[in-house]
Structure formats: C-alpha cells, structure tokens
Amino acid sequence: MSNTPSTGLSSLDGDRHEAALPLAGLRVVEFTHMVMGPTCGMILADLGAEVIKVEPPGGDKTRKLPGLGIGFFRSFNRNKKSVVLDINTPEGRATAIDLVGQSDVVLENFRPGLMSSLGLDYDTLSRQFPRLIYVSHKGFLPGPYEKRLALDEVVQMMGGLSYMTGPKGRPLRAGTSVNDIMGGMFGAIGVLAALRERETTGRGQEIQSALFENCVFLSSQHMQQFSMTGEPPPPMPSRVSAWSVYDVFTLADDQQLFIGAVSDKQFLTLCRVIEAPELANDPALSDNAKRVAVRPELLERLGEVLRHHRIDELSPKLEAAGIPYAPIMRPEQLVDDPHLKASGGLVPMQTDDGGTTDVVLLPLTLGGRRPGVRQPLPRVGEHTDEILARLAAGRAA
C-alpha cells in the first residue's frame, strides 16, 4: 500500500492474528501530540496498520504531562512504533520525507502553518508522492476561524456543548476530551474512505478533521430542534423532559441511582418494584402526558419512596424487571468493572517504563474479536534504528 512501487506492503511482525487485521500492510507516519492526532493513529494501529510515531529529541512532551493530562500518552499511543527525528533540522526533515515516501498515510495535528513551514504539508509532499493520504487534525475547517488556536474546551464553549451541559447561566464543559477523541475518530474514518477511493483513482488526498465542526455535529440535534420549533433549546438541566421518570434519585445512605421509566408499562412496573401502589393507582398519573405535566411533584413523591431503598437491593430488582437504571460510576471504579473485564474491553498493556497497566480497547468487535494490544507502549525512539535501517535498505533497492 506504500507510495512507491518498490516498497510493497509493510513488513509487519508476522503474527497470525495481526496479519488478519483489516489494515495489515498499511503504513502510517504520525507527527502528532496530545489527544486528537494520537487517537486517529491509535485507531489505525489497533486495526492492524503499522503506525510510526515521530517524536522530537527527548520524546513527545505529552509523555510527561501532569494532572488531568497524565494519562493521555498511555491511553492513545498503543500499538505504535517510536522514531526520534528532529524535523527542525534539514537532516531530520529529509529523513522524515524519506519515511513518508515509504508510507501510505501521514497524520498531523500541529498549529496552523507549522507543517507548511517545514515542507511537510500535503501540497508539498503530494507533488512527490501522489498516492499519499494526509490527515490534518485542526481546530477549525477552512473559513473565518481557521487561523485560531483551539482547545477542546474552547470549541465546547463555541459549539453549544457547554451551554447544553451546564445549568442555565453556568456553561459547563464535558468531563473528558470528547472533541479531541471524536476528531481523531473522524480522521480515521476519512482515512478509510480515502483508501477506498485510492483503489479507483490511484491518487491520495488531504483529509481535514476539526474540533469546532465536530462539536457542532454533537449539537446538531439541538439546532434542528430550534429549526423545527422556533424555540431556543434550554440547557439539559433545565429541559422539559419527554418522559416523566428520567432522573437521578438519592437512595438510602445517600447513594445515587439514575432511573428511567419511559413508557406507561415501565412506570407501573417501577411502582410495583418499589412498592408504591399509591402512585400506580393515582388517576393523575395514568399516562405519560399527565405525569410530565406534574413531573416536579411526581419526582418529589418518587424521591420520598426511593430514600428508603438500598441501592444494592434495588438494582437487581430493577434489572430483573427490565427498568433502565444506572449507578453513578466514577472513573476509578471502572478499572474493576466486571462487564468491561468479561467482555475483553479492559486488558493489560506493558508500559514504556516496564510496568503494566490496564487499557480500554476500541468499543467494537470484528467478527467477534476485540482489536487488542499487540506490543508494549513504545519507549522514546525505541524503533529508530529499525525504521532507519529499513529506509536505508529501501534507498539501496
């Protein structure tokens, strides 16, 4: 799948399971950091591509982020190879261009104009490598905003997500890097589409995936709501719910549980489970429309009943009765989640310091298989000699 006919398919490890992965033989060069670009590369790597992460001397600074960024590198850089190149030097840029020439895809997510200043942009590289597929992960697609620097939090504010998430007058960002992660996903989707098109045209193309447009896509249902009703949608905490019972309740010992009863049958079942016949038999609550009309009073009455139920006793009863429910889980609790472990979605990975950590796999199966961890998290420059030797062999050929 490479850009030059002499290189043929990527030389992978030869593992039987890896060879069976759909992107085996695809070679990707990744000039990325933080979350968005690395997510795209990780998805391609998990699906079988050989992803070569180009790091600066000393390594990607994402490796050493503190606080809420401490888990970024481990979360989004598995199944990759690490090569150290100083692309700010002529020698490093020349080596990077040689590496691109033996590859199918380039990924980047640096500030606007940086790759162009280094001669590593799509317009420059595609003249030499017309089969190249090039993914730029950006803050904004072309338009009035495209030169702005963007962060996940910036576009959450601009794209309607923070407004819809927080209480009225208190915009609140989502508790994770939703746009960075989804932006990487859309970049990977673009790669798959471009590969398919290249089979027909023989040419690559540039793909752009952007944080702002990603966030607006997440808000699109609320935009349509306004278009159809003429009424600005209220923030989610202030919304008029379509269902009467669809909320978080505080149970005994101050444990919290979300419960959703979205049909008349489910409401009656819930009343039976929590032993509240007075609610089931109240004519004012006989259908969903009536219940929505008196929703605040209904939720208060339900809350009084539920305060006397223990979460560990009520949860299995709700599950057996088919009532949607959810405990309010924290991230640290998910590391021991029985479903994640049993379904194969949480597996060990050797880290770059020789330790081991459990990582979350892609949320999909392929023919019943979960694309998993095939190699340890790379140390800084661990594969530099291997990749440069392959480049030299390619030049000699």
| DSSP codes, 315-361 | HHHHHHHT--EEE---HHHHTT-HHHHHTT-EEEEE-TTS-EEEEEP
**pLDDT tens, the chain, 397 aa long:** 655 432 222 333 334 455 589 999 999 999 999 999 999 999 999 999 999 999 999 999 999 999 999 999 999 999 999 999 999 999 999 999 999 999 999 999 999 999 999 999 999 999 999 999 999 999 999 999 999 989 999 999 999 999 999 999 999 999 999 999 999 999 999 999 999 999 999 999 999 999 999 999 999 999 999 999 999 999 998 877 888 999 999 999 999 999 999 999 999 999 999 999 999 999 999 999 999 999 999 999 999 999 999 999 999 999 999 999 999 999 999 999 999 999 999 999 999 999 999 999 999 999 999 999 999 999 999 999 999 999 998 887 7
What pLDDT is stored for residue 330 in this prediction? 96
Handedness of CA 15, 195, 72, 125 (dihedral sign): positive
What are the contacts of 365-371 at 24+ separation with CB within 8 A? Answer: 366/21, 366/22, 369/17, 370/343, 370/344, 370/345, 371/21, 371/46, 371/47, 371/48
Residue range of the domain that includes 278: 261-332
Domain boundary pick from 306, 332, 358: 332
- Residue with tokens 């447009």, as numbered in its chain: 213
- Let me know whether 282 and 327 are in one domain: yes
Angle between helices 178-201 and 36-46 (to 10 degrees): 50
Domain boundary pick from 289, 306, 332: 332
CA angle (47 as vertex; 18, 177 as ends), nearest 5 = 140
Task: Give the catalytic positions in this structure.
Answer: 180
- Let me know whether 213 and 314 are in one domain: no
Domain boundary pick from 332, 350, 384: 332
- Let me know whether 172 and 30 are in one domain: yes
What pLDDT is stored for residue 380 in this prediction? 98
CATH number, domain with residue 142: 3.40.50.10540
User: Do the domain assignments include residue 137?
Assistant: yes
Q: Rg for the chain (alpha carbons), in Å? A: 26
Beta-ladder partners of 83: 54
Cα 250 off chain centre by:
31
CATH number, domain with residue 273: 3.30.1540.10
User: Do the domain assignments include residue 232?
Assistant: no
Strands (DSSP E) found in the chain:
27-31, 50-55, 80-84, 105-108, 133-138, 206-210, 245-250, 256-261, 325-327, 346-350, 356-360
Query: How many domains are contained in the chain?
Result: 2
The phi, psi pair for 134, rounded to 5°, reads -130, 125
The identity of residue 43, as a single letter, is I
> Global pTM?
0.92
